[in-house]
């Protein structure tokens, strides 16, 4: 596809996306280390995909996500992770983008670090086949939080190093 054609398609998607309101299709609930899987389908050619899947995180976590076109063709195809805007409702124009990725028939997992809170996967693309089906998988692994003993050992180690360094200075 030529650069001019690609730019025209992206401009049309941007204009149509601004007018269309996303639909919250499903919710993952609270993401955990167990991978959750959801599906979506589009049955009209040249129909815009503009779907939201909400999820929440109970603690700061690394979120692994992957979206793949399982059947048909959605191109161009993008998905992002969003926080709800000031109106606290997902799928409205004031949603705040956190990170964005592309997807296709062969997609690789994406890893993003997010704080605790409520989020949404927002899928956006153009259906290029009579019927297309996409799948979205997601899981979250809580970030490790150092124990107080870790900081105590760090402080003790730095103290010993400082003591040894001061003794060496006095000896020379």
pLDDT tens digits, 39-88? 787 777 778 888 889 999 999 999 999 999 888 888 889 999 999 888 88
CB 100 within 8 A of CB 78: yes
Sorted by sequence, the CB contacts under 8 Å of residue 103 that are 6+ apart come out as 66, 67, 68, 69, 74, 77, 78, 79, 134
Integer Cα distance of 6 and 146 in angstroms: 48
- β-partners of residue 120 are 54, 82
Is the model's pTM score more than 0.85? Answer: no
Which stretches of 72-105 are assigned E, i.e. beta strand?
74-83, 96-102
Query: What pLDDT was estimated at residue 2?
Result: 53
Residue 2 is classified by DSSP as -
Which strand ranges, in their side-by-side order, compose the sheet holding 117-127? 23-30, 48-57, 117-127, 74-83, 96-102
pLDDT digits (tens, 9 = 90+) for 86-137: 888 887 888 899 999 998 887 789 999 999 999 999 988 888 888 888 889 9
């Amino acid at each position: 596809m030529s650069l001019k054609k690609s730019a025209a398609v992206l401009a049309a998607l941007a204009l149509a996306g601004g007018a269309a309101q996303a639909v919250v299709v499903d919710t993952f609930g609270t993401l955990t280390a167990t991978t959750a899987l959801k599906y979506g389908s589009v049955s009209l050619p040249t129909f815009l995909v503009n779907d939201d899947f909400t999820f929440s995180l109970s603690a700061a976590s690394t979120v692994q996500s992957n979206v793949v076109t399982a059947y048909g063709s959605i191109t161009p195809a993008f998905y992002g992770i969003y926080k709800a805007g000031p109106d606290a409702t997902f799928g409205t124009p004031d949603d705040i983008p956190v990170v964005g990725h592309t997807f296709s028939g062969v997609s690789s997992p994406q890893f993003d670090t997010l704080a605790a809170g409520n989020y949404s996967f927002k899928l956006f693309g153009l259906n290029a086949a009579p019927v297309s089906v996409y799948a979205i998988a997601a899981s979250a692994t809580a970030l490790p939080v150092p124990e107080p003993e870790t900081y105590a050992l760090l402080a003790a180690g730095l103290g010993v190093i400082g003591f040894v360094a001061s003794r060496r200075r006095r000896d020379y």
